[in-house]
Chains A and B, each alone.
Chain A
């Protein structure tokens, strides 16, 4: 019996296929992903002006709801919202409301009373952004800024923008993602985006303990040996390794991990000479990547940060646009019914 398998994907699109929330890359086609990248390109141009601000979200309120602390991601969302002329409300909820026993639903009701138009949500549980999108009043756009191990769609899209800037196209690209795939919402979103945008090969390089079950079903091949995995690569994406992984018997030590899966200059030399190096940050130098590589000529890590602001401006304005267009349509249908 099919209950609701398709529902999740329709949650974030309007009836005519515009974005109204941005929760996951699942269910978004190549055309829409390309629209996001193109729109972000226009926002990059805005960032080069003397006044780096456009009036799109003037008079609207964006609330950053961070149930899990992340100063960096929150700052780029904040900057993006401000460059769209929105009013921004920053709420770090992990310490305040929920620890006093207030339920997430209650917290949301309170925030809606503050007349927010958009929630940017970061939460430690997979599916939190979906839950919020299903619970809020219609008209409020939800942007997923990372939920548990599920998805981090803006991070993946800024990575795609960085790849497109450097490689021009996704056709024929060989891309590897290295490190803790199991716990990574970023990797899940990247694999999905690379597949949808037409990359030729997506490889994941990690030890067996850091791979999810049936990882190939996500659209990638598995390589345990990094030296083999680096061959002919156009793009290598390193993931951050959390220190807690040593405790759960997932890895023996940072040293062994670095030796086997850290990106050193020697290992990078095995890839295509024009291979670019990416990392979603913050970097653990000497744990997953050698400093000389992170700061080296093939690294595009800093442009990822700039692109992050443009991607977030694109996604926020598109989702808000989808919401207002939908509301307008409903209003005119109502009028039509009356006459």
Chain B
């Protein structure tokens, strides 16, 4: 198992990786959209680092989660906020930690209800090797394998730090 990097180092790697990818794909004016809550903090910083002038968007996926039939509705849902038209645009979708891929599936379903984007790039601080769906980030600060029962959680917003959590198995 590799050692987890500091958030600052992960941000650097993410920024560099995205710059390469955007250049490679000739994307000039992407939109940044973060998934609540951790993804929004990362999107805020990324947007500034990449020099994107348009404000970043916030996506709350509570209404699209696939576990409604097991746990019901998230009691603290807040409205999604996309202060721009996504139709035909290139989007950088940002999350903090990608595990099963279920959150990303929900986020993409939601995104398409706003319009048809030209492309979506998936970016994450950390990609955990715990895939349950065929979804993996295009760019990640680091790839990591956790021990059984372990989770990784981004705390923030100031300062941002990653914490391990033990879950009951």
Complex A–B touching at CB under 8 A: yes
Q: What is A's interface to B at a CB cutoff of 8 Å?
A: 18, 35, 38-39, 41-42, 44-46, 49-51, 53-56, 317-318, 320-325, 328
Q: Are B73 and A318 in contact (CB under 8 A)?
A: yes
Kindly name the residue among A53, A55, A323 whose own CB sees the greatest number of chain B CB atoms within 10 A.
Answer: A55
Q: Are B64 and A325 in contact (CB under 8 A)?
A: no
Interface SS of B by simple majority? loop
B158 contacts partner chain A, Cβ-Cβ < 8 Å? no
Contacts A42-B80, A45-B80 hold; do A55 and B73 have CB atoms under 8 A apart?
no
B19 contacts partner chain A, Cβ-Cβ < 8 Å? no
B68 contacts which of A18, A42, A44, A324 (Cβ < 8 Å)? A324
A45 to B80, CA, bound (A): 7
What are 23 inter-chain pairs, A to B, with CB distance below 8 A?
A35-B76, A42-B60, A42-B77, A42-B80, A44-B79, A45-B81, A46-B63, A50-B87, A50-B113, A51-B113, A54-B113, A55-B109, A56-B63, A317-B73, A320-B72, A320-B73, A321-B68, A321-B71, A324-B69, A324-B72, A325-B71, A328-B70, A328-B71
* 8 Å CB interface, B46-74 against A: 60, 62-64, 68-73
B75 contacts partner chain A, Cβ-Cβ < 8 Å? yes
A38 contacts which of B69, B72, B77, B115 (Cβ < 8 Å)? B77
**Residues of A with C-beta under 8 A to B73:** 39, 56, 317-318, 320-321
B87 to chain A, nearest CB (A): 8
Question: Which residue from chain B places its CB closest to the CB of A60 in the assembled complex?
Answer: B69
B158 to chain A, nearest CB (A): 24
A325 to B69, CA, bound (A): 7
**Residues of B with C-beta under 8 A to A56:** 63, 68, 73
**Residues of A with C-beta under 8 A to B76:** 35, 38
A106 to B113, CA, bound (A): 41
B78 contacts partner chain A, Cβ-Cβ < 8 Å? yes
Interface SS of A by simple majority? helix
A49 to chain B, nearest CB (A): 5
Q: What is B's interface to A at a CB cutoff of 8 Å?
A: 60, 62-64, 68-73, 75-81, 87, 109-110, 112-115
Inter-chain CB contacts under 8 Å: number: 66
Contacts A35-B75, A50-B115 hold; do A42 and B63 have CB atoms under 8 A apart?
yes
Q: Are B70 and A324 in contact (CB under 8 A)?
A: yes
A42 contacts which of B69, B79, B87, B109 (Cβ < 8 Å)? B79
A202 to B69, CA, bound (A): 40
**Residues of A with C-beta under 8 A to B62:** 42
A38 to B74, CA, bound (A): 12
**Residues of B with C-beta under 8 A to A54:** 63-64, 110, 113
Q: Are A325 and B72 in contact (CB under 8 A)?
A: yes
With A38-B78, A50-B114, A325-B71 known, 11 other A-B pairs at CB within 8 A are A18-B72, A39-B73, A42-B79, A42-B80, A46-B113, A50-B115, A51-B112, A54-B110, A318-B73, A324-B68, A324-B70
Q: Are B77 and A39 in contact (CB under 8 A)?
A: yes
Kindly name the residue among A39, A51, A323 whose own CB sees the greatest number of chain B CB atoms within 10 A.
Answer: A39
**Residues of B with C-beta under 8 A to A325:** 70-72
Q: Are B79 and A322 in contact (CB under 8 A)?
A: no
Question: Which residue from chain B places its CB closest to the CB of A14 in the assembled complex?
Answer: B72
Q: Are B113 and A322 in contact (CB under 8 A)?
A: no
Contacts A46-B63, A49-B114, A50-B115 hold; do A41 and B79 have CB atoms under 8 A apart?
yes
A49 to B69, CA, bound (A): 25
A322 to B68, CA, bound (A): 10
A206 to B63, CA, bound (A): 43
**Residues of A with C-beta under 8 A to B69:** 324
A215 to B19, CA, bound (A): 68
**Residues of B with C-beta under 8 A to A49:** 113-114
Task: Pick the 9 closest A-B CB pairs, nearest first.
Answer: A321-B72, A45-B79, A321-B73, A325-B72, A54-B63, A51-B113, A42-B79, A42-B77, A328-B70
A257 to chain B, nearest CB (A): 41
A38 to B102, CA, bound (A): 25
Kindly name the residue among B72, B81, B115 whose own CB sees the greatest number of chain A CB atoms within 10 A.
Answer: B72
Question: Which residue from chain A places its CB closest to the CB of B109 in the assembled complex?
Answer: A55
B75 to chain A, nearest CB (A): 6
A42 to B77, CA, bound (A): 7
**Residues of B with C-beta under 8 A to A46:** 63, 113
A42 to B71, CA, bound (A): 19
**Residues of B with C-beta under 8 A to A320:** 72-73
A37 to chain B, nearest CB (A): 12
